Amino acid sequence: MDFTETSSRQRRKEARPAELAAAALALFVERGFAATRLDDVAARAGVSKGTLYLYFDSKEALFRAVIEESVLPLIDECEARVEALQDQPVRLLRELLTTWWVRFGATPLGGTCKLMVAEAGNFPDVAAYFNEAVIGRWGALLRRVIEAGIVRGVFRSGSPELLRQMVFHPLLMQSILQHSMLAGPAGRPLPEPYFDTYFDFILRGLGAAVPDPS
């Protein structure tokens, strides 16, 4: 065996966990967590079940791999962005929400939200992990930006957690719809003016009240 062949096989071996995680994500979103079998994941990834078990011993491990490889790095990036732009809460909020949609909500990863809504009760350990690793960190990030805006007098006074829900839940629901009732071969993209209208709406609602001159 020459070096080129050995190197090619090594690259293929290193790529397999990511390929298996991608296959698992697609099936989880299409069929649900309970209905997806490890045999199905192996077949979708084009490997044997034995090969799959070299890397993952359960569906739960596969789900964690999806989150750890694809979602947590995105949250890390967003946290770093907050550090860099914490004195610009309006710009920061707009950037974070747009990034979430483009890189999570409108992608197959967004299907994990629909998955948790549907199956959290049947798989509490998986749901607890998702809640802590993804929902908890993302929610804390948005609250931090909203709190900064309140302190600077840019956003209206109020509960940062309630304001976070009002701001974020429309996008979250759009993502759930994209992966359920509106699902199709290519999904159904949001209308072109959606984000302009969305940001106009939420930023007017968040804006600090102007004192009455009278």
Domain extent at residue 16: 3-206
User: From residue 12, how far is each of 26, 37, 47, 127 by CA, in Å?
Assistant: 20, 23, 12, 32
Number of domains, the chain: 1
Q: Work out the pLDDT band at 182, boundaries 50, 70, 90.
A: low
User: From residue 11, how far is each of 1, 6, 18, 53, 183 by CA, in Å?
Assistant: 15, 9, 12, 19, 34
Cα-only R_g, the chain = 21
Distance separating alpha carbons of residues 78 and 145, to the nearest angstrom: 11
How many C-beta neighbours within 10 Å does residue 115 have? 25
pLDDT, tens digit (0-9, with 9 covering 90-100), for 68-106: 989 999 999 999 999 888 899 999 999 999 999 999 998
Question: Between vectors from CA 138 to CA 22 and to CA 134, what angle results, nearest 5°?
Answer: 40
Q: In this structure, is residue 212 part of a structural domain?
A: no
What percent of the chain has a predicted confidence (pLDDT) above 90?
Answer: 67
The secondary structure of residue 191, as a DSSP letter, is P
What percent of the chain has a predicted confidence (pLDDT) above 70?
Answer: 86
pLDDT, tens digit (0-9, with 9 covering 90-100), for 188-207: 667 778 889 999 999 999 99
Q: Is the pLDDT of residue 123 over 80?
A: yes
CATH number (domain holding residue 148): 1.10.357.10
Global confidence as pTM: 0.83
Q: In this structure, is residue 19 part of a structural domain?
A: yes
More confident residue, 162 or 12: 162
> Residue 29 — left, alpha, or beta (φ > 0 → left; ψ -120 to 50 → alpha)?
alpha
Cross-strand pairs, 155? 207
pLDDT, tens digit (0-9, with 9 covering 90-100), for 16-73: 888 999 999 999 988 989 999 999 999 999 999 899 999 999 999 999 999 998 999 9
Q: In this structure, is residue 160 part of a structural domain?
A: yes
Average pLDDT for 103-129: 92
Q: In this structure, is residue 214 part of a structural domain?
A: no
Distance separating alpha carbons of residues 44 and 46, to the nearest angstrom: 5
Distance separating alpha carbons of residues 116 and 114, to the nearest angstrom: 5
